């Protein structure tokens, strides 16, 4: 029998080696065709008496599977959306069967009567790992990475993941793994009992075959009569210890904002009370329910579909040939420059890192050395790989070393004159084709480009700190920035494996504009006398990863003061609320600059003591009675003020693609991910409802909540942002 995506070779011992290797794709994904072929393969090996067992592996180097296929998922959603209006019940039943296809197929494989061993040769996430768990044995290569990350895109492992994991490992560990969605190293997976053996990459298939020769039962433990759950039955003294803690952990981690996470807890709890086949159907019912939630649809769209599209260069000008980046120049080896040098060297580029003094340049390079040592000591990077990374960075004061750089990024002090002087020095040595970028956070790119002879070759590449951790980069177009400069910037962002958004020039670009609104709203609440702890908690319950006061301490309160002063200088005194100015000035004049001075809105005692809100903050303003404060409204204020700012950036043409506002807000400042981002938050509730919410807040808290004309117009027409600003390259976006 022949297959398009698989080869099946049976050896003299009767072991069939199934190798998954999809033609013309760099990764194997679960397309409808691939699934149909797996189904046929199971039938084939069951029917063939010569086959005693099966090894299932992938032919792609370093990857078992890339997971779900975007097109199949989009089709499933659009078919459901089309059918649900006609006959809701039939549409839901169809969704149940379609989404459940993978679950039924893995169960078929699991109960087919012949033993399957998964040979996991590389990245194996989501449905791929669920396939491996359905096999009767699992061997992983040392370099493999595995996990069930579905919760991160708003859903959950709905192909048996919530049932098999807690039948193989301790309930608490299983729940942690499912709720966090974090990747597992092979060793960790082995310790949890999810992998049987971890072997050198080259020994993988042979070890899997040897396992089968030695005997692997084709019947799973949970299909045997006397199966015992690893943590004991749910209704048992052991279970009574686990489950009460689970609900409080779940609430603490998610604030009950994620239907996918809620369903995981329910699936595990209910599923462990049932035999496997019934448990899988219960899991599938929850899965079908979760798929219909706004949260799942928005999260899948932003965090799965859009983030991949943007990372792959959705906004890259198509007719500019691929840039062959080899050397990056970085001028300014401070906090940001050192981080940029690290991510570039990690991406394989040679880096010339320049500062005024050799000692400063060396210090910048030492940052990479330190990060590498940390990774090597945790076993997350090989010694040699780490040494090679650091050796790619040349720390110098000599601008002449920039002569063969294809791209130079300036990250010197945030001062026009300093930047202009550096630009002059770079211009003197820069190759005529090279692109020059600034990492400025506040100075308009168009004005900086004027100091460069060819503004077409000038662009903004704005990083977020800490550079090695933050996934977003904002690429900013000056008025004259060419397509070539944009293409090079995006090619660079791809090399360093970050996600870019492309925005037009504006004060604060995109992310900082929204973040400032977040912090300003907290200032307003402080001034109104809302207790500081309530402010921080409301933000976290709204889904923000860090409270606005804690965030302000991280970004530094003196920086907020400097931004306010610059805004007043450029736009007049009225541009800043005098109560905010007074608050920030009082904090800074008392030396409360934020974490860097160990005191800001919080006090930062020596570790291991934890930070705590500065008690005197409460005394600065007359406190309201907490009972009289509407907590839900506090949550709304945070999300609405940021979403409204994002809508303004779209109305002004600063952001032109709603996917970028969504991804920029989640990756840049952690905007409540369950919403799908600032714009999906509006689309998700409907523009009409959002306008009404703005009006309610405007009546109570003032003009800053006034809906902009674009929103009113869209509300009138019943439009969504994704319809009105439909991204050119996607059919899957309109929802």
> Binding residues for ligand NAD, per CB under 6 A?
331-337, 354-356, 360, 411-414, 418, 421-422, 439-441, 462-463, 465
Q: How far is the CB of 87 from ligand NAD (least distance, A)?
A: 52
Q: Which is nearer to ligand NAD, 125 or 557 (CB)?
A: 557
Structure letter (DSSP) for residue 321: P
Minimal CB distance to ligand NAD: which residue? 334
Query: Is the separation of the CB atoms in 672 and 542 below 8 Å?
Result: yes
Cα angle vertex 394, ends 392, 400, to 5°?
130
Q: Which is nearer to ligand NAD, 416 or 700 (CB)?
A: 416
By three-state DSSP, how is residue 563 classified?
Answer: helix
Which tokens sit at 699?
Answer: 């009546």
| 141 beta partners | 199
Cβ-Cβ contacts under 8 Å for 20 (sequence gap 6 or more) = 5, 6, 28, 34, 56, 57, 58, 59, 60, 64, 65
Q: Which is nearer to ligand NAD, 74 or 473 (CB)?
A: 473
Alpha helices in 496-556 (DSSP H): 511-528, 532-541, 548-555
Q: How far is the CB of 522 from ligand NAD (least distance, A)?
A: 19
Q: How far is the CB of 407 from ligand NAD (least distance, A)?
A: 16
Among residues 308, 208, 225, the alpha carbon closest in space to that of 663 is found at 308
The active-site residue, picked from 136, 367, 462, 580, is: 462
Q: How far is the CB of 453 from ligand NAD (least distance, A)?
A: 19
Q: Which is nearer to ligand NAD, 462 or 517 (CB)?
A: 462
Q: How far is the CB of 340 from ligand NAD (least distance, A)?
A: 9
Q: How far is the CB of 562 from ligand NAD (least distance, A)?
A: 10
| C-alpha to C-alpha distance for 422 and 428, rounded to whole angstroms | 10
Q: Which is nearer to ligand NAD, 333 or 691 (CB)?
A: 333
Beta strands 612-613 and 602-603, pairing class:
antiparallel
Q: How far is the CB of 636 from ligand NAD (least distance, A)?
A: 29
Q: How far is the CB of 338 from ligand NAD (least distance, A)?
A: 8
Q: Which is nearer to ligand NAD, 339 or 727 (CB)?
A: 339
Alpha helices in 147-221 (DSSP H): 161-168, 171-180, 186-192, 204-214
Which tokens sit at 261?
Answer: 């996470």
By three-state DSSP, how is residue 679 classified?
Answer: helix
Q: How far is the CB of 128 from ligand NAD (least distance, A)?
A: 37
Cβ-Cβ contacts under 8 Å for 415 (sequence gap 6 or more) = none
Q: How far is the CB of 412 from ligand NAD (least distance, A)?
A: 4
Beta strands 137-141 and 63-65, pairing class:
unpaired
Cα-flanking dihedrals φ and ψ of residue 471, to 5°? -85, -15
Which tokens sit at 711?
Answer: 């929103």
Cβ-Cβ contacts under 8 Å for 263 (sequence gap 6 or more) = 156, 286, 287, 289, 290
| C-alpha to C-alpha distance for 398 and 418, rounded to whole angstroms | 17
| C-alpha to C-alpha distance for 710 and 687, rounded to whole angstroms | 10
CA terminus-to-terminus distance, the chain: 41
Query: Is the separation of the CB atoms in 199 and 193 below 8 Å?
Result: no
| C-alpha to C-alpha distance for 13 and 35, rounded to whole angstroms | 27
Annotated catalytic residue 136: no
- Number of Cβ atoms within 10 Å of the Cβ of 46: 15
Q: How far is the CB of 125 from ligand NAD (least distance, A)?
A: 31
- Number of Cβ atoms within 10 Å of the Cβ of 88: 10
| C-alpha to C-alpha distance for 279 and 223, rounded to whole angstroms | 12
Q: How far is the CB of 472 from ligand NAD (least distance, A)?
A: 11
Residue with tokens 């002879």, as numbered in its chain: 453
Cβ-Cβ contacts under 8 Å for 264 (sequence gap 6 or more) = 151, 156, 162, 175, 178, 179
Cβ-Cβ contacts under 8 Å for 100 (sequence gap 6 or more) = 158, 284, 287, 288
Query: Is the separation of the CB atoms in 724 and 716 below 8 Å?
Result: no
Q: Which is nearer to ligand NAD, 117 or 336 (CB)?
A: 336
Q: Which is nearer to ligand NAD, 354 or 644 (CB)?
A: 354
Query: Is the separation of the CB atoms in 435 and 407 below 8 Å?
Result: yes
Beta strands 499-504 and 472-477, pairing class:
parallel
CA 222 remoteness from chain centre: 35
Cα-flanking dihedrals φ and ψ of residue 730, to 5°? -135, 135
Q: Which residue numbers are catalytic?
A: 462
């Amino acid at each position: 029998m022949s297959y398009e995506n698989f080869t099946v070779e049976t050896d003299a011992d009767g072991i069939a080696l199934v190798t998954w290797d999809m033609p013309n794709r760099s990764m194997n994904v679960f397309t409808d065709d691939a699934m149909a072929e797996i189904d046929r393969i199971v039938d084939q090996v069951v029917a063939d008496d010569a086959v005693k067992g099966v090894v299932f592996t992938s032919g792609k180097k370093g990857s078992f599977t890339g997971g779900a296929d975007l097109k199949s998922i989009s089709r499933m959603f659009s078919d459901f959306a089309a059918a649900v209006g006609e006959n809701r019940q039939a549409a839901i039943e169809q969704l149940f069967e379609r989404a459940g296809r993978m679950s039924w197929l893995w169960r078929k494989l699991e109960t087919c009567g012949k033993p399957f061993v998964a040979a996991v040769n590389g990245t194996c996430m989501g449905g791929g790992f669920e396939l491996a768990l359905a096999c009767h044995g699992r061997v992983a290569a040392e370099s493999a990475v595995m996990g069930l990350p579905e919760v991160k895109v708003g859903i959950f492992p709905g192909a048996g993941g919530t049932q098999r994991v807690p039948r193989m490992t301790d309930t608490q560990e299983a729940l942690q793994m499912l709720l966090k969605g974090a990747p597992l190293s092979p060793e960790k997976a082995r310790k949890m009992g999810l992998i049987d053996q971890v072997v050198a990459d080259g020994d993988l298939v042979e070890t899997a075959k040897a396992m089968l020769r030695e005997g692997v039962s084709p019947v799973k433990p949970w299909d045997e009569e006397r199966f015992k759950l690893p943590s004991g039955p749910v209704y048992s003294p052991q279970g009574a210890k686990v489950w009460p803690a689970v609900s409080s952990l779940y609430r603490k981690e998610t604030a009950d904002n994620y239907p996918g996470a809620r369903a995981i807890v329910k699936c595990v709890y209910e599923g462990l009370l049932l035999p496997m086949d019934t448990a899988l159907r219960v899991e599938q019912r929850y899965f079908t329910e979760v798929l219909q939630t706004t949260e799942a649809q928005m999260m899948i769209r932003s965090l799965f579909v859009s983030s991949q599209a943007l990372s792959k260069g959705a906004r890259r000008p198509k007719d500019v040939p691929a840039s062959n980046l080899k050397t990056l120049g970085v001028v300014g080896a401070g906090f940001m420059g050192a981080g940029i040098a690290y991510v570039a060297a990690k991406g394989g580029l040679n880096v010339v890192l320049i500062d005024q003094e050799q000692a400063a340049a060396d210090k910048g390079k030492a940052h990479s050395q330190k990060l590498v040592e940390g990774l090597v000591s945790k076993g997350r990077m090989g010694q040699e790989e780490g040494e090679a990374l650091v050796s790619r960075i040349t720390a110098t004061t000599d601008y002449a070393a920039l002569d063969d750089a294809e791209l130079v990024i300036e990250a010197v002090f945030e001062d026009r004159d300093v930047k202009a002087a550096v630009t002059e020095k770079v211009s003197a040595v820069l190759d005529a084709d090279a692109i020059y970028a600034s990492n400025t956070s506040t100075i308009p790119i168009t004005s900086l480009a004027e100091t460069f002879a060819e503004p077409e070759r000038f662009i903004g590449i704005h990083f977020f700190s800490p550079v090695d951790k933050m996934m977003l980069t904002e690429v900013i177009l000056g008025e004259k920035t060419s397509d070539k400069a944009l293409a090079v910037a995006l090619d660079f962002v791809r090399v360093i494996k970050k996600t870019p958004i492309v925005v037009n020039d504006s004060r604060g670009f995109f992310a900082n504009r929204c973040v400032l609104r977040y912090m300003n709203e907290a200032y307003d609440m402080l001034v109104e006398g809302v207790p500081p702890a309530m402010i921080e908690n409301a933000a976290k319950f709204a889904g923000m990863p860090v409270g606005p006061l804690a965030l302000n301490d991280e970004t530094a309160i003196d920086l907020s003061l400097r931004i306010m002063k610059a805004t007043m200088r450029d736009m007049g005194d009225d541009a800043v609320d005098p109560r905010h100015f007074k608050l920030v000035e009082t904090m800074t004049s008392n030396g409360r600059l934020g974490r860097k001075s160990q005191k800001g809105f919080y006090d930062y005692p020596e570790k291991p003591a934890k930070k705590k809100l500065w008690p005197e903050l409460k005394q600065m303003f007359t406190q309201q009675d907490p009972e009289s404060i509407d907590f839900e409204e506090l949550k709304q204020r945070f999300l609405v003020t940021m979403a409204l700012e994002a809508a303004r950036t779209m109305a002004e043409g600063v952001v032109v693609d709603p996917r970028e506002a969504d991804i920029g807000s989640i990756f840049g400042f952690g905007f409540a991910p369950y919403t799908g981002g600032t714009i999906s938050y509006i689309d998700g509730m409907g523009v009409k409802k959002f306008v009404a919410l703005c009006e309610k807040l405007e009546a109570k808290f003032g003009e800053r909540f006034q809906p902009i004309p674009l929103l009113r117009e869209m509300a009138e027409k019943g439009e969504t942002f994704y319809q009105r600003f439909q991204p050119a390259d996607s059919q899957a976006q309109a929802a």
